[in-house]
Structure 1
Amino acid sequence: MRTVWGGPFRAANVVVLVGIGCLSASLLPLHAQQRDTRLIDAVKRRDDKAFAALLRAKVDVNAAQPDGATPLAWAIHLGERRMAEALLDTGANANTADEYGETPITLAAANGDADLIQRLVAAGADTHAARWNGETAVMIAAGAGSLEAVRQLVRHGGDVNAAEPRGHQTALMWAAAEGHADVVAGLIDLGATVDAASKAGFTPLVFAVIKDDAASIRTLLERGANPNLALPSGATPIIVAMQYRHTVAALAVLESGADIGVRDRAGNTILHLASQVGDLKLVGALLAKHADPNARTPKSMAPAGARGGGPGRGGAIGEQTPLMLAARSDHEEVMRALVAAGADPSLKAQDGTSLLMTAAAGARLKTFKYAYELDPNVNVVTATGNTPMHVAVAMNDRTQPEVCEVIQFLADHGARLDELNAAGRTPIAIADNLPVDLAVDLLTKLITERGEKPKIPSKR
């Protein structure tokens, strides 16, 4: 959001003078064509002695670098307040701007220096000053997290609701985006519009959600922000929170009346998303607000995946439940909470994928065993001919030994090892292609122990 001042601090623009290390050299007269940067150099070196001598010699306190940066600008940027005040006392212009539009007051705002802002205002600085891109001093101070700097600027005429022209972002959005809850509250007290929207439709609440800052979120909601105001995409703040996997933000919005019936673009409910992320506290809060534990994702118009290696390969699977997503993501405690709230483990997805199959695709052995307790059919077959063994060979954030533990458990409980799916692929063929070498070796061994030969031997 924030534009870092590029003016006098870009290496290519810094004028380095050779031979000014001593006081006497710094007081030598300059030729007519030379730009007098002796005072700037003294400020940059934080050389108090040379700085004072130059002021006594009455050098030009407004002499600027080629990009327009003055000694005052440099003193403020470097946090040298005594130098800045001395420059103001000797006539430094409080409203100079470099080629990027940086002024002394925007630089003081970036440092959150309320006292210096007050001093600059007394010297005639314009509190409406903005960078070349329209970012105002109030915005900059808000982003820096200085409430007192914001107050000083607004008290002397700064516009609390000014929006920069490119993104239409306001100071309140900047404060929320940086997680400055105290500044958020202060800006609202000063008259900031709580539900102002940027050009992209982002409100301060959405910026706070993206930051995952519960304090700013609660402050905005307590001051009247709409928890259900949607972006142009249709996503509400709680959906945005889940898109970023920011469960703290989702809980904060949920506590303030967020609609739990909304769905994301893929048709997932908030409970689907929370179950997939595995946040037990959020899942519990949603269930306490009567979220449906058997909600289904929409039917898929895409062809179901026949190639194996996990539900969804080759096409999204429709009609999945939160329990299925929790199983695939290896969240046993979330599964138990869903079941306790009435989740039905017998439900199948659109293509016939079962709870056990979703667990086989991503869960580790402990969670997989719990899925087996709920749904013990190890030989269920989907519309595309996949069995639990076809999907078990995929790693999906598991290690190869963890994959093999699930394969061994399935084999020990009677799972067929070498079936062809609709694409003509066996579990060995899928594992060989991924590749998951340990799974290939284990399946080959298990099939051989049953007195058979693999239908499609490994190509390795």
Structure 2
Amino acid sequence: MAAATISHSGSAAPCGSLEDYSLYSNLSDDELLQLAIERSLTDTHCSNTSAASNIATTTTNTLSAATTPAHLPDRNMNPTGRNTNQLKPKHSSNSPANASSPTQTTAHYSSPNPPAENPPDPKTFDGTISRFMTGSGKRMVAYRRPDGNLVFIGPEPEEDEEPLFKAISAGDVSRVKALMMQPGTNLMLPSKPGWLAIHQAAWFGQDTCVNVMLSAQPGMINKQTDRGETALLLAVTKDRLRCVQVLLEHGADPDIRNYDKETPLYRACERNNAATVAMLLNHGVGVNTHCIHGCTPLQEAVAQSNVEICEMLLKAGAKHNLTNMFGISPVFTAAQSGNLAPLRFLLRHGADMNSQAADGATALYEAAKNGHEDIVELLLSQNADANKPGKTGLLPLHIAAQRGSNTIVSMLIPVTSKARVRRTGISPLHLAAERNRDDVLESLIKAGFDVNAQMSEERSKSYEDRRSTALYFAVINNNVDGVRMLLEAGANPNLDMFKPLMVAARLACIRTVVLLVEHGADINAPIPTHPTTFPAVYMFSMKYLSIFKYLLDHGGHAVSCFDCVYGSGPHPPIKTTRSQRDELHYSDSVLPEIQSRRGVQFCEMISAPSISRWAGPIIDVLLDYVGHVTLCSRLMEHLDSYSDWSIIKEKAAPPRPLLQLCRLQILKVVGRHQVKKLPLPGSMIRFLQHQEAPLDEC
């Protein structure tokens, strides 16, 4: 059973927590109500809100919409717009003075102030009335004093509709006439706030009743409901064509707007009712009136894709260049909605296809954004300007590439100026790569867009890592196919401040790492903003020894990892925060200038808690790529921390094996890329290339 939330005026917070509602699934509504009353009386420790919270745990408070249609006020719809969950009775003019008593219960009330058996008089009651509905649809009402104490709870009394209104909704014309003749009947007085008999007749389409009442009281014809709606607007809303005709014949004003500034004509266009539109236009209604959002009837007809109504409106004087409060014209609306027929109709009648909305977007931009291929094709056939940027500076081609519509991209490429693209500070390649639109990426590359185009500094600053190339986007998305496509087209992997190779190593994707290295990625590149004494890419690959080894195999510097300014002497404490690192760089008593100039050392990086557990294997791999080196005191501390790593210390102790020194000398003289050409046995070639074990797949 679902929980309920009953509004109340108590100030205290609810006590206790919600219970398991399945415990009460076998109880009837009356039993649940009885249980709720008993709990509300016994939970004195949270008396201000106990009834509300306990009823909430045992009833379903789904405030149902009235069974009558929208705009028809009754006691549930609350035509005055007030919250029916917390009504003050003094505002209600139709609440009964003496409602029927609720079902009697046999509960034993331990409270000295039990709920009354009969409901208080709502006109004189000083407190809050809360209305809610049980899971079975029973409407309930609770009376509560300002201090939160429950006074009465029970089924909400039924309220009979006034006889005149009941006769109107049933279409009983003779009964309506008879009631109108009774003394005291005044058709100008509302039964509910702002709701007259004429509104009731218009809503239910009782045109004969409308005719009878207007003959007796013509002054009610333009009276408005609490929402500002006339009988004519209500009849249009419900598509009551006969009522519309009768009202217009009796002189109803078709230009009176509701509180949303909607006219009957606007509502007829919204309802897509051409017959009603024609009838209103024949009575001289204004065709260019704006609603509260600035939209005109023509704009609404375009949104409904009704060319027939559009044609009637234009013939009646509707202007197709008017915009709403967002600067959106009917042409823009048609393009945005993908309504081809209205757009073709508007263009044929001279509408400006290149007008821009408040955010700078054109109809072409919006069609490309929403993937409407037929709209884009039509606009381009009419020479729409494809080089007008939106507020963000992007062109239609940019947004099409971002959304991944390759067909639209192909249509826009020939009409888009590459000079204008460069002026935007971002290439459509960037946006295609960012969203992994590989087919769009391929089309743009074939069209000759520069794969090495870099974003402007302003756009690059919007990314924390200051990325600048399309290749970077493909790498960080782990899009191996996109990376391969860009590299084969000539993308330079070394243009970004934070190199794509470092990103690939951090993502542990060796396929991307291999692609980047094969296409010239600089393994030994530094990070300008975070200087290190060793290749920066090692910081991101130490946890992945296969990648780490691959980088060393292909030219990664290893000797610099053993170059420590402290040597065998004591090292200062590890600085983990930025302020501590700054203090180390600029105020440490040990070689402050050298430390600041050199940056972070390898022994400091490997001492990070997330990496130090792999210190032994990392040092072991590095030793295969160096000759005589000396381990600093910090590296020795790591090797001493685990007994199995003692063999690594022995490996580093001089002298190094002659075989290892020969390998290093051959690689130095011949070069890594020429080793395969040497007239040596395959096993020797593999030894020289450090290929003792296969690489893992990412």
TM-score by length of 1: 0.73
What is the alpha-carbon distance in structure 1 between the residues aligned to residue 328 and residue 221 of structure 2? 35
**Structure 2 unmatched runs, 5+:** 1-69, 83-91, 95-158, 170-175, 180-184, 562-573, 575-597, 620-634, 642-698
Corresponding residue for residue 225 of structure 2? 65
For residue 302 of structure 1, report the CA deviation from its aligned partner.
Answer: 9.5
Corresponding residue for residue 247 of structure 1? 404
User: 2:547 matched to 1:410?
Assistant: yes
For residue 109 of structure 1, report the CA deviation from its aligned partner.
Answer: 1.7
Q: 1:367-405 deviations in whole A, cap 9, x for unaligned? A: 455445545765543333362343569xxxxxxxxxx7x
What is the alpha-carbon distance in structure 2 between the residues aligned to residue 362 and residue 86 of structure 1? 74
Q: 1:95-127 deviations in whole A, cap 9, x for unaligned? A: 222233211101112233333211211232222
Choose the corresponding residue for 1:328, options 476, 485, 506: 476
User: 2:605 matched to 1:426?
Assistant: yes
Change (3 A) 1:201 1:273: closer
For residue 157 of structure 1, report the CA deviation from its aligned partner.
Answer: 1.2
User: 2:350 matched to 1:191?
Assistant: yes
Change (3 A) 1:369 1:111: farther
Correspondences of 1:251-290 after superposition (within 5 Å): 251=409, 254-263=412-421, 267-290=425-448
Corresponding residue for residue 236 of structure 1? 395
Corresponding residue for residue 61 of structure 2? none
Whether the 8 Å contact between 1:327 and 1:362 is mirrored in structure 2 is no
What is the alpha-carbon distance in structure 2 between the residues aligned to residue 83 and residue 408 of structure 1? 83
Q: Which amino acid aligns with 1:357?
A: M
Corresponding residue for residue 293 of structure 1? 451
For residue 188 of structure 1, report the CA deviation from its aligned partner.
Answer: 0.7
Corresponding residue for residue 447 of structure 1? 615
User: 2:263 matched to 1:103?
Assistant: yes
Change (3 A) 1:355 1:134: closer
What is the alpha-carbon distance in structure 1 between the residues aligned to residue 355 and residue 525 of structure 2? 53
Corresponding residue for residue 329 of structure 2? 170
User: 2:511 matched to 1:356?
Assistant: no
Whether the 8 Å contact between 2:207 and 2:246 is mirrored in structure 1 is no
Aligned length: 409
Deviates more, 1:187-196 or 1:197-206: 197-206
Q: Which amino acid aligns with 1:30?
A: N
User: 2:394 matched to 1:226?
Assistant: no
Q: 1:169-228 deviations in whole A, cap 9, x for unaligned? A: 321122223332332222111221111233443322233234343322222221121111
What is the alpha-carbon distance in structure 1 between the residues aligned to residue 302 and residue 460 of structure 2? 47
What is the alpha-carbon distance in structure 2 between the residues aligned to residue 173 and residue 152 of structure 1? 20
**Structure 1 unmatched runs, 5+:** 1-5, 304-311, 394-403, 433-439
What is the alpha-carbon distance in structure 2 between the residues aligned to residue 80 and residue 361 of structure 1? 68
Q: Which amino acid aligns with 2:321?
A: N
Change (3 A) 1:207 1:7: farther
Q: SS in structure 2 opposite 1:159?
A: coil
Change (3 A) 1:295 1:302: closer
For residue 7 of structure 1, report the CA deviation from its aligned partner.
Answer: 9.6
Change (3 A) 1:377 1:163: closer
What is the alpha-carbon distance in structure 2 between the residues aligned to residue 92 and residue 301 of structure 1? 58
Corresponding residue for residue 531 of structure 2? 385
Correspondences of 1:122-141 after superposition (within 5 Å): 122-132=282-292, 134-141=294-301
Identity of aligned residues (%): 18
Q: Which amino acid aligns with 1:390?
A: M
What is the alpha-carbon distance in structure 2 between the residues aligned to residue 300 and residue 67 of structure 1? 49
Q: 1:110-162 deviations in whole A, cap 9, x for unaligned? A: 23333321121123222222224542211222233323222221122111112
Q: Give me the CA root mean square deviation.
A: 4.2
Change (3 A) 1:350 1:63: closer
Change (3 A) 1:375 1:66: same
For residue 55 of structure 1, report the CA deviation from its aligned partner.
Answer: 3.9
What is the alpha-carbon distance in structure 1 between the residues aligned to residue 489 and residue 270 of structure 2? 51
Change (3 A) 1:323 1:105: same
Whether the 8 Å contact between 1:197 and 1:203 is mirrored in structure 2 is yes
